[in-house]
Structure 1
Amino acid sequence: MNRSLAAPLLALSLSVPTTCLAEEDSPYPLADAEMHYVNFMQESDGMEKLLNAMDQADVTDTMLTGMAVTKKWKETAPERPRYYQGDDSPVYWYAATDELVARAIEGLPKEQQKRFHPFLSGFNPTDLNAVDHIDRMLQWRPAFWQGIGEVLTRHDDLTALTEGEKPRANHEAMHRVYRLAAKHHLPVLLHTNITSAREDRPLYLKELKEALTQNPNTTFIWAHAGTSSTTIRRNDMDFLPTLVKQLLKDHNNLYILLSWTAEELIYKKEGTPDPAWVKMVKHYPDRFMLGSDLVGRFDSLPKTMDDFQPFLDALPEPVARKVARENFLDLLPRNR
């Protein structure tokens, strides 16, 4: 069966329990602030598995987005690639990913739909027409979309494989998107690496700062605090805590999404929470949130979210609750 077609269609006919998690089920009920419904081949395990994984992980609410790019299957490839790094074929922008997300959510019972907070991602961030596409999508489903992103810029190997002009946070096309986001009170989940795979310094800081400074009314969620698996693996990133703290001080429209790559930062090598990051989160208790960053496969969600528990336990309980769930929900347009 072709999952890229079957999963959304399956979601249309699902009958799932409509009860959501109760607050008392976990000391820290969670909101997952970054979940991709599909992978780089636009395939998904489907809504039934996602809801089951959410219940097991004590996740009450999930940001749900598609995947802005899809992997090309070249005629010369010996087999279909399973990941964007599977071979040297490119990836290209894929607008239909938003429709896959929308149909999956709309196929659920109303009570379950409330648990999902869909973000638009299927546009080319180097195209000056992108803002018109996003505006059209917002008009087609009024009050449905609750954010924009994940916008993929400066993403090492993924950027290198992307067809056409390479995206960056301060591209004029993105400035147009930021202004539209501000108009509709939509947060923007932005992936922009702070550096390249070979430079252990904030190589791309200027691009991020320009986006933040020129769009003070836009709410930015910085995915993974500017890291990726490649940058974390090849760099020490010792400069990052000081840099993040300064950015939070200078830009009150910036929020930080901690995900699986950020775990390399917030925990010391022996697995204990890093005091520098604990102190920073305590100082800015409203500016951090958690995300799994899973892509179309959901079985690992309980473990992924449970890995944050030692860090949450190192925080005062009111702060932990904010980071675990409240901060993300507070940024959504229906709550602002």
Structure 2
Amino acid sequence: MSQRIVFLQGGGIGLEQEQSLRHLLTVLGVKLEFQVIRAGRYAVEHGEPAISPEVISAIRETGIALKTKLFSPVPKGKEMPVNVNAQLRKALGLFASVRPIHNLAGLPSRFSGLNFVLVREITEDLYAASEHEIVPGVVQSFKIVTEAACLRFFRFTCELTRAMGRKTVHCIHKANILKLADGLFLDCFRRVIAEYPDLVGKDMIVDNGCMQMVSRPHQFDVVAAGNLYGDLLSDLGAGLVGGISCTASVNYGENVKVYEAIFGASHDQVPPGRANPLPLLMPAIELLRDLGYTDPATRLLTAIETVLQAGQVRTRDLGGSASTTDFTEAIARELM
């Protein structure tokens, strides 16, 4: 019996990425039953809600979803644009985003041999988007930090660190300036890490953390950060290993996991048939591993790296001229 997965299709190059993934899963002999549901701007263009009740109920029922990049609907008039990715996280109660940062053989990068994990709290901070205009020309935004959310986040991070066989957790903060908000974040970290004597806890001010990450990144094992710092450090980390094509994101909630492509684009930016499938293939590899398909996940990653190392077949964003189909078929040949 095949595993049912909710597949959120956001349109754009996600349509081609989906077909690439389906073909490679067939070659691998892995049977996953995708319940495809449109979301974001792609759903709105078809007269559906950006995030429908069907999406939320289906993901809660299966406990697992894979998604392409979701675009926000174009606002009408003076409407404020809505971030549908954040809307989905809130509706599902997702509270932590896990981003593996590691090299992909065949992609040029600033550093080699990198392998660390960035864990980002995704419910609070400035991204809670609590803001208002006090008077014309003066806007106030609130940085929300609560003890309950911080304790949950750090316990999750420490349990994940243990499960991965890792040893060191760096907490990234700005408590030297934001003594109350980031001070609470740091205090919760210190309280929780004390409950895990087998782990080493370190903390680092965010500006120094950025410098250290681009100069001595091998020192990091697990990096834990709040919503804003985590967002910035996620892309910074991706830049160290060859770009966002070779990274993935897994969002965690209570009994829910959402694996997502962190890069996507419309066909206004990427011509039809020229999409790079890697942004969806990388989270799919994480999904396969978590479902117990360890060998197929390893085979797929090895095939991708073999094609990249050969350097003959690459999509335009990777320095080549291959189509989505060309790149997918090259990977498929390595799997046969």
TM-score, normalised by the number of residues in structure 1:
0.29
Using CA pairs under 8 Å that are at least 6 residues apart, name the structure with larger relative contact order, 1 or 2: 2
| Higher strand content, 1 or 2 | 2
- When Rg is computed on C-alpha atoms for both structures, the one with the higher figure is 2
TM-score, normalised by the number of residues in structure 2:
0.29
